[in-house]
Amino acid sequence: MLHPSHFLSVLLFAICASVVFGVTQRETPRKMMRYGLYCFTLFVGSAIVLSWVMFFIGR
């Protein structure tokens, strides 16, 4: 049975949400791609930053 890690789950969610945001929020394919990559970067970056913040709070 497949048991993905938390980070893999974050990546999967970020990909799915970014695709939806890109397609629904922009008009041209180029703008869709750029906005999707922007959202993906923000999702993954914020997850990494927040995980480090929680790590230091817990110590």
User: What are the angstrom distances between the C-alpha of 29 and each of 7, 18, 44, 49, 51?
Assistant: 28, 14, 22, 30, 33
pLDDT score of 3 more than 80: yes
Q: pTM of the full predicted structure?
A: 0.87
**Per-residue model confidence as pLDDT tens digits over 36-45:** 999 999 999 9
Residue 42 and residue 29: Cα distance in Å, rounded?
20
**Per-residue model confidence as pLDDT tens digits over 21-32:** 999 999 999 999
Residue 59 and residue 54: Cα distance in Å, rounded?
9
Residue 43 and residue 41: Cα distance in Å, rounded?
6
